[in-house]
Amino acid sequence: MERGCRQSRWDQLVKLEKEALNVLNELWAKISPRERFVAYGAGLVLVGWLVGQFIATVNLCPSGAGAYCAGLGSFSYFTAGNSGLFAILGLVAGIAGAVILYLKVAPNMNITWPMPVAQVLLGVSVAALVCGVLVVLMQVSYGLGGAPITMWIADLLFVGGGALMSWGAYQEWLLTKTVV
């Protein structure tokens, strides 16, 4: 009896997974190729932020220090100084771009946008790019003695994602200008 119940639950989960993939494929098909660059860029911004937040850190405690370093912990070069604020703002802009794309193509969504969606995407994408560039400029001006290579990888992903978002949104915006 219990084995049959487990198999039934497994079948339900597999069915739900297939339905979710079908819905995701339908939504992805509604997005234009230029808007896909915005989605890819938003993903890169998220990955860059995660790499910078969790991998671009150094341990300030020497090995064997134990209780002597209780208050120090680790130091993240990616968010040192004010660059952490701009990193979070860039992350929020990247997530906002992905949410705008979803709201544009989601079923049963009738949103009256205050301006063309391409223009909204362009503004959010440029904001993500500007925040990424400001993060890098602040890191360089902070003095990066001993910064790990993962911080530069995070910077590359973060700024590259913002640039990809901006380029795709700009191409979409240009398309709306030539059609009108």
Q: What is the pLDDT of residue 142?
A: 75
pLDDT attached to residue 1: 47
pTM: 0.78
Asked if pLDDT for residue 19 goes beyond 70, the answer is yes
Q: Could you read off the pLDDT of 124-145 as tens digits, one per residue?
A: 999 999 999 998 888 888 766 6
pLDDT (tens digit per residue) in 66-103: 555 555 567 777 777 778 889 999 999 999 999 999 89
pLDDT tens digits for 35-68?
888 999 999 999 999 988 888 777 666 665 555 5
Write b or e for each residue in 58-77: b if 16 or more Cβ atoms lie within 10 A of its Cβ, otherwise e.
eeeeeeeeeeeeeeeeeebb
Strand partners, 76: 57
Longest CA–CA separation in the chain, Å: 68
Number of residues that make up the chain:
180
Domain residue extents for the chain:
1-30, 32-179
CA-CA distance, 22 to 170, in Å (whole number)?
Answer: 29
pLDDT band at 112; cut points 50, 70, 90: confident
Q: What are the backbone dihedrals phi and psi of residue 76, each rounded to the nearest 5 degrees, phi first?
A: -100, 115
Look at 12-16, 38-42, 170-174 and tell me which has the smallest mean pLDDT: 12-16
Q: Identify the three-state secondary structure at position 76.
A: strand
pLDDT at residue 107 is higher than 50: yes
- In three-state form (DSSP H/G/I as H, E/B as E, the rest C), the secondary structure along 94-163 is HHHHHHHHHHHHCCCCCCCCCCCHHHHHHHHHHHHHHHHHHHHHHHHHHCCCCCCHHHHHHHHHHHHHHH
